[in-house]
Structure 1
């Protein structure tokens, strides 16, 4: 990832809401607090225009050591973008749709800047963290979940697609978990946000204020590398770990996880649906419920999201946001977005069934290829110019998260360790961080067998 200057000035405009974001300085700590608690800190353009200049200022400052993103109140970091305002704009015709497209350009510039930021950045995913809130947190080196965290990418419920960089982070999750979350819009809560790898750490919410104070006291030497600084922060966060809840087992594990990989690794929506119908045994009820869920989602959204999960794994972080901007522009002109938002959020239509176009999954055949136009470049939508030219193909600090299946597979395939030794290897590698043994044990139980003599052997399904 190369250093580059910020190539655009973003600043507040007349009419922007006052105090919708609160900034604070304490020694070396800089905090961004989203301050619309009555709207679950939903993100709008006014907030983005305040956040970007501060991040730019702090990145240049030798006094700013650590940046924390958090939400006001105890209910949400950020429940998403202000989609109700966007849907209202879209109803005004082409000019309103252009304004909505411009909003996504602004949001994605912020998301990319966070993803390539060159100062330690920590997201407190305390409370609801969905949609636009995920864009403010998922690309951070440190993502802290609490007992109140509710994570989801709920876009298929409103006739949209998982954006804010979901094309990058969801396909890079273990197995078919990312595709499953993208299509179903299902939620992860509490410790399972950590177990899934969405969060890098888990703390009780009451520890966050104390952690902030401790982070403010950290001092780095001028010559400390980014890796050194992140290592110090990692150890500091772990000082406040009080254990994972014992009554919250790994949700996306065992037989359920096998079923997710079987069904959601398919290349077409019809194949996914067929695989779900074929499920038997302990996952049959789950499959039936999942089929019901998918039938409630926008058919267009499902087809776009599945293709997105397949092609996004090859996009760089910069290309991700530039491609997503084009896809978002297409959705602002498609009736499903305004329809979905109206049904979900307007009092007049709350509880009614959205009238999707096409109306149902059965009305779409593979030959229709309804997803293809969303991945074509719209001539009247310029290529998104990001704030910097920084880029990468894999998260540079992904080692700060929980062990991935590929990492566990590599250690097992060395061919010398017992399951206990594999677990011990990762506990030591992560300096004894809580929850690591649980994550690795689930992977080993599902993906390995034990030979005579105790050696673990990897089984590719």
Structure 2
């Protein structure tokens, strides 16, 4: 071996040993790990992770997490790895969620079942936090069903691509759980009270509406994804390029492949329905939200009347405990940074493993499929009657001396650092109106279309925001804060 190569090899050994020991400590392999549930591929500078359980809709299990984590750590230190793509096998799903069926079976049949479940969540949240703070361009192809654990693998990435097959939801209140995988961070930061609505009801967003809602940063047709992958593999960066520069190059590359938004699928959470969401889900108690929905049901507007009726029916089917815990999560999670989010969610998830609604909900919805879970308490009315405030608070208590989840790095932030790759937010539009320089809605729309470099969807979305949130004043547009 040449002397220079030998010296380099010796210099790298301590780093590789540290990396390997860190991976083993946080993601120790288990005898039950499956051999090909995740596939890894390298093509020039592109590194691809493919979730490979198509028959299970690529549900995320511990075996997959224990493979993905170490590989991401390895690539984070490699000068050869430029871009990472996360995708799912098959046309139906990116990832339909965590493998909660296995967790419920552990909880009910194993002496240390709840402890094993808590370990699973710990490893999952470490992986999600690593993705949220990753030092390389990371792109999630949200092609197909993207729920629960699949959201954790995608929502914190700087680039999230929706397709015509994407179906997004956080369905946890349906199974007696709470929206996790960092939902405490991203849902309260969504527009208005849309995040609270999605969290409590498990409502779904499909196709372009995943993009319009800001869940995805880009919308492409699924047939374009393979060509995009090939193009990403060809990207080359200079050694001195920082992460922001590299992300800018990747963003421009993705934009080359956009093919337009479907003309027959308008913005769903818009107009009167969106106003009703903010009116009803702004309240800080479940009882007040229910009353607001009942008032909405009595309005003369046929659009919001039907929406309110359906939403009330939905809420009464969800786990009452989950609904109450989730609402409190939405209110206090907005104050957590990204690192604290995962530590706190791990504590909450661990408590849910000892609460009967999770096992009951998973069994009724996913295992036995009766879809008639017996919640404890049984209904929202019973929950209110018994005043279970202490029960809700107990999910958020951190006991003295309790061990907090140890994350893979010390990185954190209070707002997503690269949020500008998606569509403009209401806050951005409000700030533009506050400048007082725009005399017409057309001028505001034109400004954001230019600022986002002709990005598709910007014109439609900003126009919707302006029609709902502004009125004409004597000196220009005025922002409307409340009805």
TM-score, normalised via structure 2 length: 0.92
1:429 is matched with: 451
CA contact (8 A) 2:174 2:319 kept: yes
Unpaired runs of 5+ residues, structure 2, are 1-17
**3-state SS in 2 of match to 1:329:** helix
TM-score, normalised via structure 1 length: 0.96
**3-state SS in 1 of match to 2:245:** helix
Q: Which residue of 359, 370, 380 maps to 1:351?
A: 370
Q: 1:118 to 1:352 in 2, by over 3 A?
A: closer
Matched, 1:295 2:306: no
What are the superposed Cα offsets for residues 61-119 of structure 1, whole Å, 9 maximum, x if unpaired?
11111000000001111000000000000002551111001100000000000000010
Matched, 1:36 2:58: no
What are the superposed Cα offsets for residues 402-461 of structure 1, whole Å, 9 maximum, x if unpaired?
1111000000111111211111111111111111111111100100012467x3221111
1:13 Cα deviation from its structure 2 partner: 2.8
1:8 is matched with: 22
1:108 is matched with: 125
**3-state SS in 1 of match to 2:395:** helix
2:375 & 2:388 partners in 1: Cα distance? 16
CA contact (8 A) 1:11 1:53 kept: no
Unpaired runs of 5+ residues, structure 1, are none
Give the alignment's Cα RMSD to 1 decimal: 1.4
1:270 & 1:185 partners in 2: Cα distance? 18
Q: 1:191 to 1:352 in 2, by over 3 A?
A: closer
1:11 Cα deviation from its structure 2 partner: 4.4
Alignment of 1:171-190 (within 5 A): 171-190=188-207
Structure of greater relative contact order (alpha carbons < 8 Å, 6+ residues apart)? 1
Structure number with bigger Rg:
2
Matched, 1:399 2:413: no
Alignment of 1:211-222 (within 5 A): 211-222=228-239
CA contact (8 A) 2:365 2:372 kept: no
The farther-off stretch of 88-97 and 438-447 is 88-97
The farther-off stretch of 85-94 and 247-256 is 85-94
- Between Structure 1 and Structure 2, how many residues are aligned? 454
1:236 is matched with: 253
Alignment of 1:246-395 (within 5 A): 246-279=263-296, 280-282=299-301, 283-346=304-367, 349-365=368-384, 367-369=387-389, 370-378=391-399, 382-395=403-416
2:432 is matched with: 411
1:60 & 1:447 partners in 2: Cα distance? 46
**3-state SS in 2 of match to 1:91:** helix
1:353 Cα deviation from its structure 2 partner: 1.2
1:378 Cα deviation from its structure 2 partner: 4.6
